[in-house]
Structure 1
Amino acid sequence: MPDLPPLARTNAEARLYLTLQPCPTCRSTRCAFRSSVITIDGVLASRYTGECLRCHAQRAHEFLLPEEVLPPPSGTVQFGADNPSELLDPGVWLWYADICIRQVPSDTADLDDRSLRAARHALATALAATEEALKFIPPHADRVPLSAFTSADGLAMHERESGRFTRPRLEAVRDTYATALAHW
């Protein structure tokens, strides 16, 4: 069986993964990627290529395409269907949710329309990333299993705050973000 690349469930998931990957030459994460659809051993895939904006090294990443392509949702964020990510582990998803939620001001009264849209998008992204972390909890389990943490960053997040990876805690955070978004 050929060695196939990991599955990217949506373009949004692939793009997030790419923004988190440092250049192997200079460690910068700034790269303008372009995508194309290719086949790898007869299987549809996407190839993202670009040039590092710091050192100009050529970069390329490939991902399998899902059998059913999810169209980008209108007015919200979706990184994938019901299956857990093959690209990012639950620790990275929760870390990213934290980054996004910090971009949402507690008081939006003085924001212009553009800033309001950006804040709403950040909240929707934090919600979607939290939902991604929840997908790693097996049915009838109460927490994300340690085996789901496959990256050094995700494992470090788990070691620092393992209590954040329980079903009740993740669901409470998800519900808080969803309620806030519904009232936006």
Structure 2
Amino acid sequence: MSDARRIVRARSIHEMYFFVSLTPCATCDATIDAKSLRLDGQGDAWALTGACPRCRARNAYTFRTYGDPVTAPAPRDELGGPSPSEIISPKRWNDEIDRVLPLVRPDPSALTREEWYANRDANRRLLVCTNELLKFVPEGEGEIPDAALDVEGRADRADRPERYGRAWISALRATCLENRARNVADLPRVEALECAAKASRRRR
């Protein structure tokens, strides 16, 4: 079977959710909360369906899988096993890195509670992107091979080749882990803010 006819499959429900988060409403371009969608299917054919929160248009995302996506294993900060994604290309991972990277603040110590949680979530999403992008680099190799890239991916790599190399991806991953460590160290401060906010609400 040729590559053009190869069936691409989602590795887990987590990857299906992530794919939806990258794919806005077809009618109004709003971002869809994947977890608000209904999951239906059996065997290796599944769908997430539901109304857009903005325009109420029905959106349907269909997937082929490797069995039940809900029970498929996905390690922490990953969307599936060691094989690279079949439904999200390297360029789309890099595009999402472009979007999320400016949202991550390395020093959380002055953030409000709301800012802190948003920063934590953005850093985790960035870490997922780096972990998944790194899976496209074969063991013992230094960069993502041509075979893993589509036309857009090869053009993007020509413009910024470092973004498709193990060194850059690994360095960004290390930064994400450092950011997480700082977030964990700052957690007692945020918990104290939570307690103060609850006490204030009780006094009203």
**Interval containing the TM-score (normalised by the shorter chain):** 0.7 to 0.9
The residue that corresponds to 2:50 in the other structure is 50
Structure 1 residues 4, 141: CA separation in 2 closer, same or farther (over 3 Å shift)? closer
Residue pair 1:46, 1:64 contacting (<8 A) in 2 also: yes
Match of 1:102, SS? Answer: helix
Aligned equivalents of 2:6 and 2:48: distance in 1?
A: 15
Distance 1:22 1:114 in 2: 25
State the Cα distance separating 1:89 from its structure 2 match: 1.0
1:126-165 maps to which residues of 2 (within 5 A)?
A: 126-150=126-150, 152=152, 154-165=153-164
In 2: Cα distance, 1:5 partner to 1:61 partner: 15
Over 3 Å counting, the alpha-carbon distance change for 1:72 and 1:168 in structure 2 is closer
RMSD of aligned alpha carbons: 2.9
- The whole-number CA distance in structure 1 between the counterparts of 2:38 and 2:154 is 30
Cα displacement (A) at 1:146 = 2.3
Q: 1:27 to 1:159 in 2, by over 3 A?
A: farther
Aligned twin of 1:17: 19
Q: CA deviation at 1:113?
A: 2.5
Q: Deviations over 1:22-76 (max 9, x none)?
A: 555x46244455232312xxx2332111234566543322223445512685xxx
Q: Which runs of 5+ in 2 are unaligned?
A: 184-204
2:44 corresponds to 1:28: no
Q: C-alpha offsets along residues 126-153 of structure 1, whole Å, 9 cap, x if unaligned?
A: 111011111011122210012312374x
* Kept in 2: contact 1:31–1:53 (CA 8 A): yes
Write the distance in 2 (CA, Å) between the matches of 1:89 and 1:4: 15
Q: Quick one: percent identity of the two aligned structures?
A: 27
Distance in 1, matches of 2:32 and 2:90, equals 24
The count of corresponding residues between Structure 1 and Structure 2 is 175
SS at match of 2:138: coil
Single out whichever of 55-64 and 129-138 deviates more from structure 2: 55-64
1:69 is paired with a residue whose SS is: coil
Give runs of aligned pairs for residues 164-183 of structure 1, distance below 5 A: 164-183=163-182
Distance in 1 (alpha carbons) for counterparts of 2:160 and 2:176: 19
Q: Pick closer, same or farther for the CA change 1:132–1:49 going to 2, 3 Å.
A: same
Retained in 1: the 8 A contact 2:84–2:135?
yes
Larger strand share, 1 or 2: 1
Q: Supply the distance in 2 between the matched residues of 1:151 and 1:18 (Cα, whole angstroms).
A: 22
Whole-angstrom CA distance in 1 between matches of 2:132 and 2:19: 13
| Inter-partner Cα distance in structure 2 for 1:151 and 1:9 | 24
Structure with more of its chain in helix, by fraction: 2
Structure 1: unaligned runs, 5 residues or longer: none
The corresponding residue for 2:72 is 69
In structure 1, what is the Cα distance between the partners aligned to 2:52 and 2:7? 21
After TM superposition, the score normalised by the length of structure 2 is 0.71
Taking a change above 3 Å as real, the CA distance of residues 156 and 58 of structure 1, as seen in their structure-2 partners, is farther
In our comparison, the structure showing a higher alpha carbon Rg is 2
Higher mean displacement: 172-181 or 118-127: 172-181
Task: Please tell me the residue identity of whatever aligns with 1:168.
Answer: A
Letter in 1 for 2:180: L
Asked whether the 8 Å contact 1:45–1:62 carries over to 2, the reply is yes
